Amino acid sequence: MKTYLVTRTHGLILSLIKSEEYNLLISGKIDLNKLGYNVSFEKDFVEKIFNAIVGKFVDRIVFLEKITPDYSDFFRAFLERLEVENIKAKLRYLRGFKNKEVYYPYEYFISKKDLMLINNEYELLNFLKNTPLDITYYINKLKNEDEKDLVIKEILLDIKYYEYYFSTLKEFKKFLFPMVNLERIITYIFWCTMIGEEKISKLLLLFNIKNLNYAEISHALGLSKNDLQRHLENKHYMRLLEIAEDNFIKKLKKNVLRNKDNIFFVYYYMIASYYEMKNLEKILLGRKIGLRPEVIRGTLKLFI
């Protein structure tokens, strides 16, 4: 089954959008419906295109799940990042100015309909109680002032998500741990710039997770300690995240050369599909806003 999955993935990866096709898409010389999507940048509404792009990504991962139901947990945990984003968005909508709510069209533990009907944080946290994303226990452990903080809840969700994601790696751990760990480090870097290393460490301790230090982060990112410190102090997280993501993709591409016949290749395909979704979302928004092609191109992460 595993061999079949890897072999199938070798075929599936050929259907992903290539860099020259992205260029044609940005310049409007080719439409999305010519690249295996059922929507058109020219004719369809943004929401429909956005749903189709995310839907395609979800379908690709669900297809892998269908081939190998034994690894279902891992594939679902990978997709769960979309639901975590939806939950974090809901937390913000609950505290924010009433507006139209925008979510990823993906539901597994909590349906989109339920998510939209939720009226307060208590209800939302109660919904999460029966899922691997339950953070109530950790919120209760926090001091009063932190308990109310939106950012702390979002961090707890991310920590919980990675805990869940790691738990599904099982026998793939030896292949995938370094890369999934790098994914986690990238997320923690983001939170480090928001609330500082000290607070992050305290939150990680709640989960009995070893604290990440600057040496570990800088090594993972391929940055010197001073450069990392400078970026964190200036709160230039966008630049830092860009470096982190580039480094992540570089490592992924390097490792896949040695791991073409195991689950690592499947993981590579999953990440490439994820970035295809992100890239198409950027092109869609960029074209809608009317950004210059070079600005859109500068934000893309290209794999193939």
Partner 1 sequence: MSLSEIRFLPISRGTLILLRQKAEMIERGKSVLEMRREQLVKEIFLISRKLKERASIEHEYIRALEDISRLRLLVGEVHFHSMVSLIVPPKIEILPTSIQGVTVPQARILEEPDLSKIYDPEFIRVFKRLWNAVRALIEIANLEVAVERLSEHLAYVNRIVNSLERSIIPMYKKYISYVEERIEEEMIEEFVKLKGLNEVNK
CB closer to partner 1 out of 95 and 174: 95
Q: Which of 43, 92, 141, 174 touches partner 1 by CB under 8 A?
A: 92
Angle between helices 121-128 and 72-95 (to 10 degrees): 170
Q: Which of 150, 209, 249, 302 binds partner 1 (CB under 8 A)?
A: 150
CA distance 53 to 16: 12
Nearer residue to partner 1 within complex by CB, 2 or 278 = 278
- Of 13 and 291, which CB lies nearer to partner 1 in the complex structure? 291
- Closer CB to partner 1, residue 99 or residue 144? 99
Give the residue with the Cβ less far from partner 1, 7 or 229. Answer: 229
Interface residue with partner 1, options 235, 250, 253, 260 (CB under 8 A): 235
Binds partner 1 (CB under 8 A): choice among 21, 73, 163, 281: 281
Residue reference for tokens 């669900």: 62
Please answer whether residues 278 and 261 qualify as being in contact, where contact means their C-beta atoms are separated by less than 8 angstroms: no
Q: Which two tokens stand for residue 52?
A: 């189709």
Instruction: Give the separation between CA 270 and CA 27, rounded to whole angstroms.
Output: 27
Q: Minimal distance in Å, beta carbon 157 to partner 1?
A: 13
Judge contact between 147 and 136, C-beta under 8 A.
Answer: no
Least distance from C-beta 292 to partner 1, angstroms? 9
> Are residues 160 and 134 in contact, defined by beta-carbon separation less than 8 angstroms?
yes
Chain residues binding partner 1 by CB under 8 A are: 50, 85-86, 88-90, 92-93, 95-104, 150-151, 193-195, 235, 237-238, 241, 278, 281-282, 285-286, 289, 291, 295-296, 299
